[in-house]
């Protein structure tokens, strides 16, 4: 690995160069046609859980990727396998300060703390990432005429009163509660993205991501799958908040990245939900983790955090119609595919 003292890490791996499965034109449209097209792409949050998987997919498609991450929640280990990849470069920097990456053809903005412990610990930084950071990356897209995809969240729906949640549901969000630093940052970011599309003509896309899990999900990030997997593997009680009747849906990371990739090549500018529409109670999720790990851990119960959603499940009708997409990996299989990663994390 070649390093530069100013915080840059350049990394790469000789790999398979594939023709892109997507045809690009003045307006992006999804196509099954194979064409040898490559782009220089900026991925912010590249060392994070989703950013690193997205980087892998873009490199597999034959593109060149400039990754940016301030490493406040990202992990260089997520990119270690790219140590000799000549088409990948990582730059350590904070997107909240303006920067010029040079000409890029596409910007994927995935830079933000994303789990409750992280965005509560980094409350002001989370708000800045969703405001100044988003604006700076939109300016880059505007400057170079690049496509732009922003990673938004199901948290835009807050504690929803409508189930499942379609994209035209405006949500039920507490604007001053503890979670508001993340919820409102993402809601403001969506407004900013649409403003750049309407006022500056930037070719923008918005994906609302529902609960996602898989390898590289930080074991200590406080999300339900990582919590349960690590507790089960350590033979600790599984901590259930509330009575466990609240529901979530869980999308395996490979399915999510496929949906994001398809969305990035459409002409759709309004938000699109991506997630698994199969709903589980937290108690059902805990039982699935116990079965996957073979653990005999018991359950224990704690107080429900403030503004924790009672139900969360995506309506993916738009993604099915627009992208021909729906998740393929169900929870039982996804937990098995994630098991080796979490086992390896026990000793690290």
Q: Known catalytic residues?
A: 182
Backbone angles phi, psi at 286, to 5 degrees: -60, -40
Rounded CA-CA distance 124/114 in Å is 13
β-strand pairing of 279-281 with 247-249: antiparallel
- Of the candidates 190, 197, 187, the residue with the CA atom closest to the CA atom of residue 267: 197
Helix (H, G, I), strand (E, B) or coil at 82: helix
Please state, in angstroms and as integers, the Cα–Cα distance from residue 49 to each residue in 81, 114, 269, following that order. Answer: 14, 10, 25
* 8 A C-beta contact, residue 74 and residue 48: yes
Rounded CA-CA distance 165/314 in Å is 5
List the structure tokens of 250.
């869980």
E-only strand ranges, the chain: 2-4, 8-10, 40-44, 64-69, 88-92, 106-109, 147-153, 203-209, 212-213, 238-241, 247-249, 251-252, 271-274, 279-281, 299-302
β-strand pairing of 147-153 with 203-209: parallel
DSSP string, 183-245: HHHHHHHHHHHHHHHHHH--EEEEEEE--EESTTS-TTS--HHHHHHHHHHTTPPEEEETTS-
Rounded CA-CA distance 196/149 in Å is 12
List the structure tokens of 293.
């790990």
Helix (H, G, I), strand (E, B) or coil at 307: coil
């Amino acid at each position: 690995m070649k390093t530069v003292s100013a915080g840059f890490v350049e990394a790469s791996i000789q790999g398979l160069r594939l023709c892109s499965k997507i045809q690009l034109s003045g307006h992006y449209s999804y196509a099954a046609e194979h064409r040898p097209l490559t782009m220089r792409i900026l991925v912010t949050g590249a060392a994070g859980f989703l950013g690193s998987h997205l980087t892998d997919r873009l490199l597999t498609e034959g593109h060149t990727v400039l990754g940016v991450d301030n490493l406040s929640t990202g992990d260089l280990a997520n990119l270690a396998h790219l140590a000799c990849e000549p088409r990948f470069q990582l730059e350590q920097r904070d997107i909240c300060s303006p920067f010029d990456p040079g000409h890029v053809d596409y910007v994927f903005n995935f830079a933000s703390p994303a789990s409750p412990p992280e965005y509560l610990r980094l409350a002001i930084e989370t708000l800045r990432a969703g405001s100044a950071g988003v604006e700076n990356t939109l300016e880059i897209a505007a400057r170079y005429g690049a496509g732009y995809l922003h990673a938004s969240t199901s948290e835009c729906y807050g504690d929803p009163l409508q189930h499942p949640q379609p994209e035209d549901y405006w949500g039920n969000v507490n604007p001053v509660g503890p979670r508001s630093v993340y919820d409102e940052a993402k809601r403001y970011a969506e407004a900013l993205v649409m403003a750049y599309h309407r006022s500056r003509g930037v070719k923008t896309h918005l994906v609302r991501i529902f609960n996602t899990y898989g390898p590289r999900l930080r074991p200590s990030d406080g999300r339900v799958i990582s919590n349960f997997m690590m507790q089960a593997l350590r033979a600790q009680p599984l901590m259930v908040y509330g009575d466990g009747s609240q529901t979530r849906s869980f999308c395996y990371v490979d399915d999510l990245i496929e949906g994001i990739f398809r969305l990035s090549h459409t002409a759709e500018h309004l938000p699109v939900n991506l997630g698994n529409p199969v709903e589980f109670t937290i108690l059902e999720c805990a039982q699935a983790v116990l079965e996957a790990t073979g653990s005999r851990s018991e359950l224990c119960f704690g107080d429900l955090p403030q503004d924790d959603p009672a139900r969360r499940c995506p309506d993916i009708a738009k993604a099915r119609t627009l992208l021909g997409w729906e998740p393929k990996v169900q929870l039982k299989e996804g937990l098995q595919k994630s098991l080796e990663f979490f086992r390896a994390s026990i000793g690290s």
